[in-house]
Amino acid sequence: MDYSEINISDPGSGKHGNNCNFAKNFQKQNVMVFPIVAYGHPVLRKLAQDIDADFPLLDKLIADMWETMYASNGVGLAAPQVNKDIRLFVVDSEQIFNNLEPDEKNNFPDGPGIKQVFINAHIEEINGEKWSYNEGCLSIPKIREDISRNENVTLRFVDENFIPRVETYRGITGRVVLHEYDHIEGKLFIDYLSPLKRKLMKGKLDDISKGKVNVDYKMVFPK
């Protein structure tokens, strides 16, 4: 998920793996930055598949996804966005709260945010009042729209150590989680827009698919 309107002066300063046990395994390895898959690529519309604990080089993939997310100025990234059709995404909403003014933090009930890995996530429940917030997506650059989502979401998933968890997320963190969850379901935030709005932005979407967009991170476009 793209939150580029928030001034993150040093996206990498969060030491990507502060609360991720796998991070220490990569102190002597070089992480890489994946290109972000652009709108129109088939992988963004696939229903992603569950994986098991012996998925090849999973720790490395997670570390690379953190690196890619920070390099792209994102607060969330899903595996389909790096051309992997598996049920994996990462979220760091701590960045959002670190860059809010003190009075703004009172608008969201979920501070100080999370930094978390989600594997094989499935929704248990969505509830709470719907509210709108301006969203963007690294796979759909230069397009932002107000999207209405429920306030709370409860997920069943396993963490990076394959420990089963059931957690409820709310507020802005819940929104980021839902945005990334949509990716592993083959959905995009623009799917929530009216047919008229989708029609009006078709030209911009076509340009993105053709690579006619300037961004400060690597992308791969449909062939």
Active site residues: 180
For the CA atoms of 152, 153, 158, 163, what is the dihedral angle to 10 degrees? Answer: 40
Q: What angle do CA 182, 185, 191 make, to 5 degrees?
A: 55
Report residue 186: phi and psi, to 5°: 80, 25
Name the burial class of residue 221, with classes exposed (0-12), middle (13-18) and buried (19+) by CB atoms within 10 angstroms of its CB: middle
Is 34 in contact with 68 (CB distance < 8 Å)? yes
